[in-house]
Structure 1
């Protein structure tokens, strides 16, 4: 039986173009508060677009002060680790090595136009992860300076998050064959997470790796995950789920579906067109983990390719507006053999209009006003999201005991099976 998310109030509610009066007031208040604290410039162009600000507001239950604190911490973290320099200069081969260990864009979108990613955890065996970590620490794959406390392996991971927010989501936002096209940008991702063929030992060995990545992503890339479909869960997954759900904020946990084999295709098809579901899960899409994206036909229709490109190349990319503002240019960045690249790949029509930013003098009445209930909920959410790693650490001994118990049960089952065969 599926453990399904509560999604009634999901996208596009709470997103640009679908804000309630109170949410719109809080967005205006957030801009003013950030500007007063030196973290936002109204422009034009604004230092940060509204869709980015809204991610932090949604993550903090629309409480301006809490959203400000998370935004401030993120801006400081980005500055200390030079995230923009990292993405612009990261070695393409290092980027692709990292991409092979994390969710990969299929080149397709769900029924709402949100990009669809696939993650098959069985490929993260101990040998592969160990090699990746050693390679990451052996050299700095970019020209970015770091704070010294965030491991290189995680900084390389966050280059993938930069790709999500600066390439895949903006591309999806410009496509017109989707819900709320032209007025509501895409700031989320839909993920199929395949945990089949993964042993309890492998889950345990990956715990620290996945925990640290999830905790930092929750803190610095809030509200970038939407529906997550977990497929192929083994019988012991309830124990693993007890670890995992502590690494994410409650809102993200509420959007996770754990599907039995019989539920996979019927559930996926409710949210994803059959032609965009990979064949191994009952759909029609030719896409396997490690493949390059199998591009949506609509993307191919609207793209005007340049410089010999007929597809998106490996490595980091992002979009910048043409001088006339009518089209967006895809730039391939990063570095190859030590030389930085900055190549035009294609252009697409710009369909999502620029949002007018208010001036810093904009008056907001009751800017910080929220209900006591919302404030209380936000406090609880903040504690769960930011301190998830500490909560897990407290219960590690208990979890280890569960692992031992399950391994013992495995051995007992194997012994019983052998006795049955012998009989």
Structure 2
């Protein structure tokens, strides 16, 4: 008997998964405390420095906590593995020095940023599977494994073809998300963007093609879930063939249950109305009922609002090919976009544009989560605890939960007496 496919979206309003709950500015008191505990624990283990500037921003740490259902032990394990993996494969060097042509070749095999955002301000990506025929993938993998396209040294545990993929994830987290974060024409403008919305078009793909791509996509999905947790929000699957229930049986095993809950298969009649609930028509590609001129393989068709917000420099009027990221300039008042990578064996580091910083940086969690009614005893107790091992973490978590519960009981009793 075929497995049931992913849930079809009948009423999108009933599928409110995640954002902005659990993100900065929208944390519960217990979530705020767990973030503080997590930072204390990581600092004790030598994996985090409080700064300023901090070695890791709060929104990154929150991704690991959300992925592990706020368990400090589990989040620590995943964070530690990710940091060791990044260092072993020199992800920073890879992104800084990767050949631009190789980067663009890899980009053509994976989800493409459309240059647009959904209604919440989250970057919108498009992935059309039909372009990944066996010949294209085979040629790419052979070329990738035989050529080192950056100065990064690796431990050999991750294939070169996948390391190129993670240059694209670096682009998501270091370019697209920070850019979208600084845009104020969105709900919750003080909450950093750490997610992506994806349209995945599986039309014109045969069962044989899915089978041939299975190993390629499974390896990529497994590593991405492990090292870039909570970077995916809703995933809309379009054009599913009649046999997709079989394929769905494989795919859902590659993701954690939280990610699976965000994947929706749309029937033809559901595509346009569902996408329009999440994305303005001007930002939906025309082939899916919208107004946007964008086809797979195109360069991003950057939102005019984004173009108007940035100040172009050095003759640029658009973002160039290849990797780029944002760095603070003007005493932190602006972010500058730096185009990096290498062309013809020569590294580039070219300033493309800059954008005003919408909110002052620093300990965002302490600022956004500030609450005049917070119990001072809870805050001081958390800050004074020394976390040295997994057992200590459990005891700390118990103490925080008990204290918060006691506070809630006091509040309830006061309400009743009034």
- Which residues in structure 2 correspond to 1:25-104 (within 5 Å)? 25-104=33-112
- 1:128 aligned onto 2:136: yes
Q: Is the 8 A contact 2:30 2:401 kept in 1?
A: no
How many residues of Structure 1 are paired with residues of Structure 2 in the alignment? 371
Name the counterpart of 2:373: none
Name the counterpart of 1:363: 384
Q: Secondary structure at the match of 1:187?
A: coil
CA deviation digits over 1:353-382, x for unaligned, max 9?
Answer: 213278xx933596423879xxxxxxxxxx
Distance 1:241 1:86 in 2: 33
Q: Is the 8 A contact 1:113 1:179 kept in 2?
A: yes
Q: Secondary structure at the match of 1:289?
A: coil
- 1:229 aligned onto 2:250: no
Q: Is the 8 A contact 1:28 1:364 kept in 2?
A: no
Distance 1:211 1:266 in 2: 31
- Offset, 1:179: 1.1
Q: Is the 8 A contact 1:95 1:315 kept in 2?
A: yes
Q: Secondary structure at the match of 1:245?
A: helix
Structure 1: state its 5+ residue gaps: 373-423
Distance 1:242 1:284 in 2: 34
Name the counterpart of 1:396: none
Distance 1:309 1:299 in 2: 14
Name the counterpart of 2:198: 191
Q: Is the 8 A contact 1:25 1:367 kept in 2?
A: no
Q: Is the 8 A contact 2:52 2:362 kept in 1?
A: no
Distance 2:304 2:311 in 1: 13
- Which residues in structure 2 correspond to 1:285-364 (within 5 Å)? 285-356=292-363, 362-363=383-384
- 1:279 aligned onto 2:286: yes
Name the counterpart of 2:247: 240
Name the counterpart of 1:386: none
RMSD: 1.9
Q: Is the 8 A contact 1:3 1:257 kept in 2?
A: yes
Name the counterpart of 2:154: 146
- Offset, 1:325: 1.4
Q: Is the 8 A contact 2:222 2:254 kept in 1?
A: yes
Q: Scaled by the length of structure 1, what TM-score is found? A: 0.85
- Offset, 1:8: 2.5
Name the counterpart of 1:383: none
- Offset, 1:149: 1.4
CA deviation digits over 1:157-208, x for unaligned, max 9?
Answer: 0000000000000000000001110x20000000000000000000000000
When residues 207 and 371 of structure 1 are mapped into structure 2, their CA distance, relative to the original with a 3 A threshold, is farther
Distance 2:385 2:205 in 1: 52
Distance 2:356 2:396 in 1: 37
Structure 2: state its 5+ residue gaps: 1-5, 367-381, 387-394, 403-418
- 1:14 aligned onto 2:19: no
CA deviation digits over 1:223-258, x for unaligned, max 9?
Answer: 000000000000000000000000001000000110
- Offset, 1:138: 1.2
Q: Is the 8 A contact 1:173 1:352 kept in 2?
A: no
Q: Is the 8 A contact 2:89 2:154 kept in 1?
A: yes
Q: Secondary structure at the match of 1:117?
A: strand
Distance 1:356 1:73 in 2: 24
Q: Secondary structure at the match of 2:397?
A: coil
- 1:3 aligned onto 2:8: yes
Distance 2:359 2:172 in 1: 17
Name the counterpart of 1:407: none
Name the counterpart of 1:158: 166
Name the counterpart of 1:403: none
Distance 1:214 1:155 in 2: 13
